[in-house]
Amino acid sequence: MTVGGLLPVAVLVYDALSGALGANPIQRATLQTGLLTLVLLVLSLACTPLRLLTGWTWPARIRKTLGLLGFGYAALHFLIYLFDHSFDLTLMTEDVLKRPFITAGFTALLLLVPLALTSTPRAVKRLGFARWTRLHQLAYVAVSLGALHYYWGVKKDHTPPLIYAAVIAALFLIRFLKRRPARSARTGSRAAKS
Amino acid sequence: MTDPRTPEDQTQPTDLQTPDGQRRILTPGSDLNPRREFMRSAALFTGTVAALGGGLEVLTRRPGLSSAEAQATDPFSRPDRPLGPYDTDEKVTSYQQATTYNNFYEFGTDKSDPARLARSLKPRPWTVRIDGEVRKPQTIDIDTLQSWFPLEDRIYRMRCVEGWSMVMPWLGFPLAALIRRLEPTSKAKYVQFTALLDTKQFPGQKQQVLKWPYVEGLRLDEALHPLSFMAVGLHGRTLPGQNGAPLRLVVPWKYGFKNIKSIVRITLTEKQPQTTWALAAPQEYGFYANVNPAVPHPRWSQATERRIGELGRRKTLPFNGYADEVAGLYRGMDLRKNF
């Protein structure tokens, strides 16, 4: 899993060294890591709806790896952005405060940090499953902000970001429709256990 | 891979984990032959790596040209002559980079689209309609138009509104020479340029990304400025399709989008033309579009730029470094409002 997810990094490095990133390699690398972040986060959020629809259990098992890979690409995306701004934190702060497009992307990244930090089984135990689940619902906010960041960053052709937004909306809808009826039963059983 | 499984998963005992983290699937009749088990995990591992890695690449990778292709076509870096009064002595952007990294939405919104699709553009035969407030309106063949003027080389900086820049060795003639030859009437205040509208030659025009045809404009005094240039060539060669064959505008102190490509019509007007990007996003792109590090784009700063071919950024100069020549054109104007 992880090896497959990191394959694009190897390709990116190879492309950078061979000149295949084109005339503006930094911009290309920024775009590519941004897209990879979005794809991986969408895939990780697709796991639960997929399980709900099919009853398969394997999507739930790869969910964490996909989420962490997504976070990894988000961090790389941010590092390349910082490199592009010569690691000038004043410039970065100004960007975050003044430009909604950067604000959305940066907030999404910040929201992913606690999720990555609490991705261990120990963290689940410490927080308790219910609180852990609630915390990890931030992933929905983060991925939506990520799609908004992409939409606002595009100059004119908005088709690709709208495709991501549509997929995310569909995933939310499946959860909503599938979870709703079962909800009272589940919370009931959990309350009985505790 | 250990993961916090949801309670539902835990109620379904489909698999079991051994202390070394290996997963064993317990199905009736399955034999736990270690060799077969190893083969199975190896196949699963390879399959997953290939599926996830390959899938991600297909969804997100946008490769450019390889460096071998890049080096194959670089005729020369600068015209073989002493520098002229308006030339920059900065390092010229390679022919390969100048012809493969282009914004030309008539072909597509990706920067690699123009080079890939430029063959569909047929720059000969080509006519240019000249009309509006001129004494000599006419439709003229591009070769005749070109033959009216001695062709000159000009090495200009070009700054894109997106924050990158190039140094371009153009070949062409001053716009002022053309306008004077057309004999503007006293009503002429602006020059409007219109690009070709043809979905066969410009596949990108099938999508209404912008309002087609592409229209740009200059105030008459800007158009008459000696820096304003009509290019018909690049790097000493005929202008390639992706760079706006057969005729494009070059106004080096303005953002690149003012430099309209593949012009079919030049109209002198009394009123300020409605230009394409200013119509598409008036809060982001103005009519003047002078390069101005002090006025940020709503989504990024314009204070710095990346010269194509370099990794770092450099400071952007007011009027793209041509302030001594052109700042006077805007005396008394608030360039924060007239951006």
**A1: pLDDT strictly greater than 50:** yes
CA distance from start to end of chain A: 35
**Contacts A39 to B, Cβ<8 Å:** 56, 59-60
CA atoms within 13 A on the CB side of B102: 26
Which of B282, B304, B287 minimizes the C-alpha distance to B251?
A: B287
* Tokens at B332, concatenated: 């008394």
* Residues B92/B74, Cβ–Cβ less than 8 Å: no
For chain A, the average pLDDT equals 89
Which of A8, A40, A51, A10 minimizes the C-alpha distance to A167?
A: A40
With CB atoms and an 8 Å threshold, state whether A1 touches B48: yes
3-state class (DSSP) for residue B293? coil
Neighbouring-strand partners of residue B167: B157
Which of A140, A132, A125, A131 minimizes the C-alpha distance to A174?
A: A140
List Cβ neighbours of A150 (8 Å cut-off, separation of 6 or more): A34, A35, A38, A160, A161, A164
B226 touches chain A (CB under 8 A): no
- Write out pLDDT tens, residues A9-50: 999 999 888 888 888 999 999 999 999 999 999 999 999 999
Q: Are strands B263-269 and B190-195 parallel, antiparallel or unpaired?
A: antiparallel
| Residues 12-41 in B contacting A (C-alpha not used; CB under 8 Å) | 12, 14
CA atoms within 13 A on the CB side of B40: 12
User: pLDDT at position B323, please?
Assistant: 97
Measure the CA–CA gap between B58 and B333, rounded to whole angstroms. 50
**Contacts A161 to B, Cβ<8 Å:** none
* Tokens at A166, concatenated: 């549509």
Looking at chain A, list the stretches that DSSP marks H as alpha helix, in order from N- to C-terminal side: 2-18, 25-54, 58-84, 89-98, 100-117, 121-127, 129-136, 138-153, 159-193
Least CB–CB distance from A153: residue in B296, B299, B306: B299
The contacts found for A84-90 with CB under 8 angstroms, 24 or more apart, are A84/A26, A84/A30, A84/B306, A84/B313, A85/B313, A86/B312, A86/B313
3-state class (DSSP) for residue B292? coil
CA atoms within 13 A on the CB side of A73: 30
Output the CA torsion sign for B330, B334, B338, B339.
positive
The residue to which tokens 């003047």 are assigned:
B288
**Contacts B48 to A, Cβ<8 Å:** 1, 4
**Contacts B312 to A, Cβ<8 Å:** 86
DSSP string, B129-184: EEEESBSS-EEEEHHHHHHTS--EEEEEEEE-TTSEEEEEEEEEEEHHHHHHHH-B
* Tokens at B75, concatenated: 């005729």
With CB atoms and an 8 Å threshold, state whether B60 touches A99: no
Measure the CA–CA gap between B102 and A113, rounded to whole angstroms. 37
With CB atoms and an 8 Å threshold, state whether A23 touches B97: yes
**Contacts B308 to A, Cβ<8 Å:** 23-24
pTM exceeds 0.90 for this model: no
List Cβ neighbours of A82 (8 Å cut-off, separation of 6 or more): A92
With CB atoms and an 8 Å threshold, state whether A24 touches B299: no
Note down pLDDT in tens along chain B; length 339 residues: 444 444 444 444 445 455 555 555 555 555 568 888 889 888 988 888 888 998 898 888 877 655 455 555 555 666 778 899 999 999 999 998 999 999 999 999 989 899 999 999 999 999 999 999 999 999 999 999 999 999 999 999 999 999 999 999 999 999 999 999 999 999 999 999 999 999 999 999 999 999 999 999 999 999 999 999 999 999 999 999 999 999 999 999 999 999 999 999 999 999 999 999 999 999 999 999 999 999 999 889 999 999 998 988 999 999 999 999 999 999 999 999 899
Least CB–CB distance from A4: residue in B5, B51, B70: B51
B6 touches chain A (CB under 8 A): yes
Least CB–CB distance from A60: residue in B5, B45, B66: B5
Which of B319, B314, B321 minimizes the C-alpha distance to B291?
A: B319
Q: Is B160 within any annotated ligand binding site?
A: yes
Least CB–CB distance from B313: residue in A7, A86, A102: A86
Nearest CA in chain B to A121: B4
**Contacts A65 to B, Cβ<8 Å:** 1, 3
Instruction: Give kind and range of the element (H or E) at residue B95.
Output: helix B95-100
For residue B199, the tally of other CB atoms under 10 A from its CB is: 13
Kindly report the nearest CA distance between residue B98 and chain A, in angstroms: 8
Q: Is B103 within any annotated ligand binding site?
A: no
Which of B151, B159, B165 minimizes the C-alpha distance to B230?
A: B151
Q: Is B260 within any annotated ligand binding site?
A: yes
User: pLDDT at position A157, please?
Assistant: 81
Nearest CA in chain B to A101: B299
User: pLDDT at position A20, please?
Assistant: 85
* Residues B286/B339, Cβ–Cβ less than 8 Å: yes
Q: Is B69 within any annotated ligand binding site?
A: no
Neighbouring-strand partners of residue B248: B231
Q: Is B154 within any annotated ligand binding site?
A: no
Least CB–CB distance from A156: residue in B101, B105, B311: B105
With CB atoms and an 8 Å threshold, state whether B3 touches A61: yes
Measure the CA–CA gap between A71 and A74, rounded to whole angstroms. 5
Measure the CA–CA gap between A134 and A190, rounded to whole angstroms. 14
Measure the CA–CA gap between B69 and B99, rounded to whole angstroms. 12
DSSP B272: P
Measure the CA–CA gap between B247 and B256, rounded to whole angstroms. 15
B313 touches chain A (CB under 8 A): yes
- Write out pLDDT tens, residues A41-82: 999 999 999 998 899 999 988 999 999 999 999 999 999 999
With CB atoms and an 8 Å threshold, state whether A15 touches B63: yes
B47 touches chain A (CB under 8 A): no
With CB atoms and an 8 Å threshold, state whether A95 touches B300: yes
Q: Tell me what ipTM this predicted complex has.
A: 0.79
**Contacts A187 to B, Cβ<8 Å:** none
With CB atoms and an 8 Å threshold, state whether B64 touches A28: yes
- Cα–Cα–Cα angle for B212, B213, B214, nearest 5°? 100
Kindly report the nearest CA distance between residue A171 and chain B, in angstroms: 18
